[in-house]
Amino acid sequence: MKSITYIIPCYRSADTLRMVVDEVDSTMQSITDYRHEIILVNDASPDDTYEVIKTLCQERAHLTGINLARNFGQHAALMAGFSKANGDIIICLDDDGQTPANEVSKLIKAIEEGADVVYAKYVQKQHSGLRNIGSKINDLMARVMLGKPKKLYLSSYFAVKRFIADEIIRYEGAYPYVIGLVLRTTKNIVNVDVSHRARLSGISGYTIGKLFALWLNGFTAFSIKPLRMATLIGATSAMSGFIYAIYTIVRRLFFEAEGYVTGFAAMISAILFIGGLILLMLGVVGEYIGRMYITMNNSPQYVIKETISQER
């Protein structure tokens, strides 16, 4: 019998996790062609999330709990889950109940019809304003930097075939970005419409800092376009400076030979502008070099502190 693995990254979800697991199990009772397992990855949640995970794993043989040593972020938690997944299809969803596990049959059907990857597309999103803004920026970044098709909707609720999961876990870099790994592996990606629920309790674990770190991962780990943009901006600035220098010389020689005084304020502005651009571009290059250095030192994507499951 074919199998499905559910991966659920967990953070501050002590109040909602049992309901999500119950919904997955209830839904799978009507999908008789597949057996399933659930992998719960605790990303060093400060509440009682891991205690809930341990209780669930003791109650149900098809659950595996992973406890990370510190907070590594959602994508690192997904990578930890992928490393333990055994299913022919791997499905990732949230721990807060907003992603409807009872509509998973839509994702499974799309995979069975030939798609390599299926992303849930929310008919009406119930995320916070900050999360919605972050999603839009993330979508724009994925289009510009990673070549994501404009009409493809990305979300945290998605399904992949086994070979996609195998390719994802081959990545050993210190800064995993699952969307980038998917987009570089296949173009056979589709969307299916699902509903989206309001958050049952608490607030999103994504802060501005975490969203910024996620975007930075996306365009520095899987694209060199920022470096090319830096080159283009530098070339444009240099050409502008050269043209302005020619203009100044011509003006001095032919139009204002007497009493011509160069603009001090304009000169200072130009220096600050060009200097700022240089520092910005050096920062981009430094970010790439720093990440290369960390990766060369074999910095781990995640560290598993404990794994719990019943003997099978």
* Distances 10 to 25, 42, 44, 132, 295 between C-alpha atoms, Å: 17, 5, 9, 20, 26
Share above pLDDT 70 across residues of the chain, in percent, rounded to a whole number? 78
* pLDDT at residue 200, as a whole number: 61
Q: Which pLDDT tens digit goes with each residue over 205-239?
A: 555 666 666 666 666 666 667 777 777 777 777 77
| 86 and 309 Cβ atoms separated by less than 8 Å | no
By CB atoms closer than 10 A (0-12, 13-18, 19+), residue 137 is: middle
Per-residue confidence band for 201, with pLDDT thresholds at 50, 70 and 90: low
Helix runs in the chain, H state only: 17-28, 49-59, 74-84, 104-112, 129-146, 162-168, 178-185, 208-221, 225-250, 264-296
0.85 cut: is pTM over it? Answer: no
Spell out the residues 6+ positions from residue 156 whose beta carbon is closer than 8 angstroms to its own.
Answer: 74, 92, 93, 94, 99
Q: Is the pLDDT of residue 84 over 90?
A: yes
Q: Which pLDDT tens digit goes with each residue over 245-262?
A: 777 777 767 765 555 555
Instruction: Give dist(CA 190, CA 69) in Å, integer.
Output: 35
CA 39 vs. chain centroid, Å, equals 19
- 259 vs 19: which has the higher pLDDT: 19
Q: What are the backbone angles phi and psi of residue 236, rounded to the nearest 5°? A: -65, -45
Mean pLDDT within 66-81:
94
| 73 and 49 Cβ atoms separated by less than 8 Å | no
